[in-house]
Each structure stands twice: as C-alpha cells, then as structure tokens.
Chain A
Amino acid sequence: MRYRSLIGLAGAALLVPAAQAAAPTISVRAEQDLRFGTFFTDTAGTRTVSATGAVTGTAIVPVGANTAGPAQFTITYDRGNNANRTYALQVQLIMTGVSLKVGGVTGVLSSFDTDLPGVGTLLPGQAAVFTINGCRRQICTQTFRVGGRLDVTRANGGAALALALPLTVVLIAEVPA
C-alpha cells in the first residue's frame, strides 16, 4: 500500500502541469512566393532557383530584370506554457509537387531545396526531418527559404503560371536541449 501511494503521487505530480498548460500548437505561414521570373523557351526548358537565390537554367532565355527568388515560410511553435528552459523541436517537412497547364504551356515543379540545416534536395512528396534548435520561450519560430526546379514544355504561345506550392510540417517531438 505504501508503495502504491508513492506511485500515485508521482503520477499526479507529472500530470498536473500538463493539465494546467494549453496544448502546444504548430503553424506554418507562407511569406514569399517562389519566383522563377520571366523567360522563353522554344519547346522545353528548365529553370532552377535555389534556396539561396542562385538561378540556373537550361534551354531557356531569361527576359528583363532578374526577379527570380526563393519562397519563404515561417514555422511557429507555441508550446503552451512559459517554462523557461531551452528545447529543440524535431519537425518533418513535406513539399508537394504540382503541375499546371495553361494554354500550350505546361509547368511542373519537380524538386525542391531548402536552407534548413540537414535538408538536401526534396522530391515532391518526400519527407525530411530537421531540428529547430535554441528554442527557449513559449513561442519558437523558424524562417526558411525554399527553392525549386520548374520544368516547362511549350507547344505554343506563352503563359503566366501560378502553381500551388503546398507545404506540410509535422511536429515529431519537443526535445530538451
């Protein structure tokens, strides 16, 4: 009986703070579009914008000022309490590739890259896990950039392509630092 009471007390002590705190939440916000700029191609070409802003292309000719640049997203984690301790977050990132046809022009987002540490090239639908370090307060944010590769095929004419860039983040764990 004495042992059971101690166990019961220990269990209660662990549960009380959790019951008083709000549930942690995670959100992600799109802040900047992924911009491939203006260019022409004869029948097919590729333009790649890296997460750092480097722009390369094959079989395309850029037109006008360079307006290409990576997308930007910010992840916000609210741990739900003000406990003053340093922690890290393990987060899974999934980018989804889409294609779009406008008139005689088809664009396909075929791969992505980010400036998140440890995350290399991502194929559409592929998941990558990264760690957000140095979180200390109730709210922890991580801003990152996303580049990508756009494959274009052109049967005729031109087109303004606006492709959806869906991104999903899944919080795997909060880890004390």
Chain B
Amino acid sequence: MIRAAVLAGLIAASFVPVAAWAASAQGQAEATIIEPLVVTRLSDLDFGTVTLAPGTTGSVTIDPASGVRFGGGASAACLSGGDGCAVAHASRFAVRGEAGRDYAVSAPAGLMASGTLLDGSPGIAPDLAIASIRVRTHSRPNSGVSGTLDGNGRDIFDIGGALIVPAGTPAARYRAILPVIVTYS
C-alpha cells in the first residue's frame, strides 16, 4: 500500500494534467481589395495629313493642353477631316478604377514611326522620330503623368508629342505603336 501511494505521488509530480483550461482571442485579418484599372483608348495620337515645303524641315507638335502647332516648313493639308485627309489631334484614353485613387501613366519619351510609301513603289520610307511625348490628365492637368479617379472611379487623359519631318521626306503613311501603361500610385 505504501509503495502504491508513493508511486501515485511521483506520477502526479512529474506530469500535471490540467483539465481543459482554455482561452480564446479574436484577432482580425484585413485586406483592401480595389477595383482593377481599365483603360480604354478613345482616339489615337494622330499628326494628321501634313504637307512639307520643298527643301525644308518641319514639325507637328501636339500639346495635350494647348493643341496643335506646326513648325518649319510643315503645315496642315486640310482644316477638317475627310476625303483621306486627317486632322491632327492628341490621343485620348478613358480610365476606370477605384474611386478616389491616384494613378500614373507611363509612356515612352520618344518613338520611331515607320512609313509605307503612298505611290505604291517598293522603296522604304525613312523612319520619322516622334519626340516630347507628354501626358495630361483631366483630373490633375498640372501634375504630369499623375491623375486621380473621380467619385465614380473615372478620369480621362490625353497624350501628345512632336513629329519631326526632315527635308526630302517622301510622301508616305507613318505608323507607330505607342505603349501606355497605367498603374495605381
């Protein structure tokens, strides 16, 4: 009997089971999921149909704020579009996303446009440089590439640039792809 009692004491001292003492806490996990940005192209950046005085270099500058300006020997071929004549204008994009969020537009500073000769000859038109590409958002027109989505999660931004037309450039139709990336900031 004594041996049994001592053994029971040793067990009790070396392993003390405690009956279901439990406690709980309520933590919290949090995340903010925002609406993805959706960008829709409303119009292309178009330098229009341009004529160039013989022996001169010209330029077409499209400022998203102030509009179109011709320089050097370049001038607009028409005042209104139609009949194969295009009028210069900035590119326009619509942005949709989370209301009140800031966003930023990323576009290259310059591009090269490649041309296809209009007379159908097999020759290659030389590439033309597009420089000074600029972004102007309607929500924050003085903040460069930054904009803020309105209460409905919408905004618009325009992109302009300057086309340089060297002397002797053949009549051709020029095209370039303008990559635009819009991200929340």
Contact = CB atoms under 8 A, between A and B. Distances in A.
Given A30-B28, A42-B36, A170 B12 contact: no
Contacts of B66: none
B6 interface: yes
Nearest to B22: A170
Contacts of A61: 36
Task: Give the interface residue-count category, chain B.
Answer: 20 to 34
B114 to A, nearest CB: 33
A170 B20 contact: yes
A26 to B, nearest CB: 5
B17 A161 contact: no
B21 A63 contact: no
B36 A71 contact: no
Task: Give the interface residue-count category, chain A.
Answer: 35 or more
Interface in A1-59: 3-4, 6-7, 10-11, 14, 24-30, 32-42, 47
A150 interface: yes
Majority secondary structure of chain A interface residues (helix, strand, loop or mixed)? strand
B23 interface: yes
A146 B28 CA distance: 11
Contact of A167 (B18, B27, B184): B27
Interface string B25-52: 1111111111111000000000000000
B16 interface: yes
A34 B31 CA distance: 9
A39 B33 CA distance: 5
Interface in A60-87: 61, 63-64, 71, 73, 75
Nearest to A153: B33
B14 interface: yes
Interface of A: 3-4, 6-7, 10-11, 14, 24-30, 32-42, 47, 61, 63-64, 71, 73, 75, 105, 107, 109, 146, 148, 150, 152, 154, 156-176
23 contacts: A3-B2, A7-B1, A24-B21, A26-B21, A26-B22, A34-B27, A34-B28, A34-B29, A35-B31, A37-B32, A38-B34, A40-B37, A63-B184, A64-B184, A107-B33, A158-B33, A158-B98, A159-B32, A161-B29, A161-B32, A161-B33, A168-B22, A175-B15
Interface of B: 1-2, 5-6, 9, 12-18, 20-37, 98, 184-185
Given A3-B1, A37-B31, A162-B30, 15 more contacts: A11-B5, A30-B25, A30-B27, A32-B27, A39-B31, A40-B98, A63-B34, A64-B185, A71-B29, A73-B27, A158-B32, A158-B33, A164-B27, A169-B22, A176-B13
